[in-house]
Structure 1
Amino acid sequence: MSRRAGMAARKKTPPTSGERGETPRRAQTRELVLRTALECLREEGLAGTSAAKIASRCELSWGVIQYHFGDRSGLLLALLDRGFESLRDSLPGVEGDSRNASERLRSLFEGMQTAMEHPDHQVLLDVQIELGRDRRHRAAVQKRAADIRSRLSELWRKTLPEFSADQVDQAERLATLGLQGLSLERAVVGRRAAHRMDVESLAAAVAASLGIE
């Protein structure tokens, strides 16, 4: 690559927050954009949310959005990162937990249920699906999804150390996929009268997979 081509390539790559030097004002602007993007996605849906619309709601120029995130996909990727962090942080801790296995499982299951029934969860799933279709971002999205799965697996194993890793992993996947399915159904058809019963049935199936009554 020639020196001129190398300089051109560097100009097209948005600087990272570390390269810019994060300041309180930059952090506030970044948070404002992410919060506004999430609100816009909730109200307008993914198809109706453009970078220009987000910039307008923030009363910022497109150049400011580009400075922080590069493009719309970069903004959505940052939003996905924040969503994964929020899910991880919302789950209950297990350090020093002296409750029996049934109570610990119930606490963990209910923590996941609360997180997945939050209105933002379906929004972030839509973002994940769209970015996963883009070959430029597919690897990054898959890496983040693998990371959250790894963190969930670790949390479940720490919560239920008296069971084998294989048993716990199967129970975690049953809980995760079941709750995601119920969350998707609720987003599409709304809350049904039987929703609570479905959740209880799923919780019982997860417990039964571990031999917990």
Structure 2
Amino acid sequence: MPGGSGAAGAVLSARGTRLNKKGRETRRQVLREAVLCLSEGTPESVSANAIAQRAGVTWGTIQHQFGDVDGLWAALLDFVAGHADLRTIATPDHPDIADRVEAVIDMLWGFLDLPGAAAIYQLRLSLPHQAAQLEESYPQTARAIAHWDVEWTDLCERCFRGLGLPADRLMRVRHFLPGALRGLYNERNLSTYTDSHEARRGLMDALSAYLSS
């Protein structure tokens, strides 16, 4: 697709033309700098112009590579997804529910420490929070976010496969677990006396009891 991969894995510009070696490297440089810029979490970090300046390219280059801001954000989400491919993550196979829950929470917590996770969080904070408005204003970005949600659903089901858990309870865990962990993670980074380790342990115990009952 434009701004992404075409036939035989070719990397395409926003106009659908194949990028040469220099163009592909420029694209990677812009996306790497976008991840670092967004992960810093400053108010001006969610800025295509700031990212272009940081990457040493012009706005015309951003347009050639991604088309517009929507194309840039969608490419950023795909770029991070390519480095944290949820489909290739080795999932836990412990027979005990509590051990399985602990492994999943530890895995997700580790991901939150990565620059890519911080970048996605800052980006999503700046985007419209209503799905309809997001899809209207940033259609490519909305599709990329939806793809992340599909991959998370598949990962969650694989992580708990074989335990015979009720489908409705597993569905609820899938919906609230990312937000719950993000809340604990953010709380850890504030001036607080909250013990994030004990908080995660409490979440593990609660989830294990919920899924076991």
Q: TM-score with structure 1 length normalisation?
A: 0.74
* Cα distance, 1:15–1:49 mapped onto 2, change above 3 Å: closer
Deviation at 1:34, TM superposition (A): 0.8
Per chain length, whose mean CA-contact separation is higher, i.e. which structure has more relative contact order (CA < 8 Å, sep 6+)? 2
- More moved, 198-207 vs 153-162: 153-162
Structure of higher CA gyration radius: 1
Deviation at 1:197, TM superposition (A): 0.9
Q: Out of 37, 41, 58, which is 2:38 matched to?
A: 41
SS in 2 for 1:143: helix
In structure 2, runs of 5+ residues without a counterpart are 5-10
Q: Is the 8 A contact 1:167 1:210 kept in 2?
A: yes
In structure 1, runs of 5+ residues without a counterpart are 1-13
Q: Does 1:99 align with 2:100?
A: no
* Cα distance, 1:80–1:149 mapped onto 2, change above 3 Å: same
Match in the other structure for 1:30? 27
How does 1:1-213 map onto structure 2 within 5 Å? 17-18=11-12, 19-43=16-40, 45-89=42-86, 92-94=89-91, 98-102=93-97, 103-132=99-128, 135-137=136-138, 139-160=139-160, 161=162, 162-187=164-189, 189=190, 192-211=193-212
In the alignment of these two chains, the number of paired residues is 195
Q: Is the 8 A contact 1:115 1:121 kept in 2?
A: yes
Q: TM-score with structure 2 length normalisation?
A: 0.74
- More moved, 78-87 vs 59-68: 78-87
Identity of aligned residues (%): 23
Deviation at 1:119, TM superposition (A): 4.5
CA RMSD of superposed structures (Å): 3.0
SS in 2 for 1:47: helix
Deviation at 1:169, TM superposition (A): 1.6
SS in 2 for 1:210: helix
Q: Is the 8 A contact 1:36 1:57 kept in 2?
A: yes
Tell me, in whole angstroms, the C-alpha distance in 2 between the residues paired with 1:156 and 1:50.
Answer: 33
Tell me, in whole angstroms, the C-alpha distance in 2 between the residues paired with 1:71 and 1:149.
Answer: 23
Tell me, in whole angstroms, the C-alpha distance in 2 between the residues paired with 1:119 and 1:183.
Answer: 14
